[in-house]
Amino acid sequence: MDKERRKFFTDYFIRDTVKLIQEAQEAFREEKARMDYFQSFETAYPLISESMLFIDDEVKELGIDPAGKTKLQIVEEIYLKRQKESKHSSQS
């Protein structure tokens, strides 16, 4: 086997695969932490209490339908939409 091919394989493929696995694990940990945060009103209370002053503006700006939703559900939806916006703007 050509040593250059082997070097390419070990230098790039394996390194990039390990990096990809690490990034996937980190994304999983972040998502789990986010899900745990919104498990109850009590755990999300700091965000909810901070958001209450501006929640009507946020709901209108983000196009969220608050009908039949709890404060926790509304704040979680605001949080998710803001996260998507920040990820989208950081990729641009």
Mean pLDDT by 10 residues, the chain (92 residues): 69 79 82 67 70 81 90 83 76 63
CA distances from 47 to 25, 36, 41, 44 (A): 26, 14, 10, 6
60 and 90 belong to one structural domain: yes
Residue-level pLDDT at 4: 72
Place of tokens 């998507």: 84
pTM over 0.85: no
18 and 60 belong to one structural domain: no
Residue-level pLDDT at 49: 74
Q: Which two tokens stand for residue 87?
A: 């990820």
Whole-angstrom Cα distance, residue 8 to residue 18?
A: 15
What range does the domain containing 62 cover? Answer: 41-92
18 and 56 belong to one structural domain: no
- The structural domain count of the chain equals 2
33 and 52 belong to one structural domain: no
Q: Which two tokens stand for residue 14?
A: 């394996």
